[in-house]
Amino acid sequence: MTTAPTVRFVLPTDFDQWLPLWDGYNEFYGRVGETALPAEITRATWARFFDAYEPVHALVAEADGKLLGLTHYLFHRSTTMLGPTCYLQDLFTSAASRGRGIGKALIEGVYEQARIAGVTRVYWQTHETNQTAMRLYDQVADRSGFLVYRGRL
């Protein structure tokens, strides 16, 4: 990397570089083979970033014309707040970019977009085995103590 990475909104022309990051993110969480996301979900996710009626947004980290990481986030209502809250849903950096502050820069990018939107809380979740990421998360946020439960319908 010869230039410092910048965090910016994803562009329609970024798809070819975004897709390997998205695939890497899904592979990291075991969504491969029979459990891989269908292509229609990837297409719909990508389209949502560019639909003004969707609350889903994407930022990427870029240096020297190459995408190094991604984050996806959305704004939604809460029953415990008057204003919206921000859920940072996905965060991933390429293996070659790890340890360079890319993840932190992407989180800070989401924080900035939340501030601009008048949001006072950003939250996310990670797998309990993701110790590397949790070292970063412990530096930039507080653990809520809540556990996630999912019911499959």
Residue spans per domain, the chain: 6-140
- What's residue 152's pLDDT? 87
- What's residue 41's pLDDT? 95
- What's residue 35's pLDDT? 81
What is the per-residue pLDDT across 1-20, written as a single tens digit (0 to 9) for each?
A: 567 899 999 999 999 999 99
Q: pTM, whole model, 2 decimals?
A: 0.92
3-state secondary structure the chain: CCCCCEEEECCHHHHHHHHHHHHHHHHHCCCCHHHCCCHHHHHHHHHHCCCCCCCEEEEEEEECCEEEEEEEEEEECCCCCCCCEEEEEEEEECHHHCCCCHHHHHHHHHHHHHHHCCCCCEECCCCCCCHHHHHHHHHHCCCCCCCCCCCCC
What is the per-residue pLDDT across 15-60, written as a single tens digit (0 to 9) for each?
A: 999 999 999 999 988 898 888 889 999 999 999 999 999 999 999 9
CATH top class, domain 6-140: alpha beta
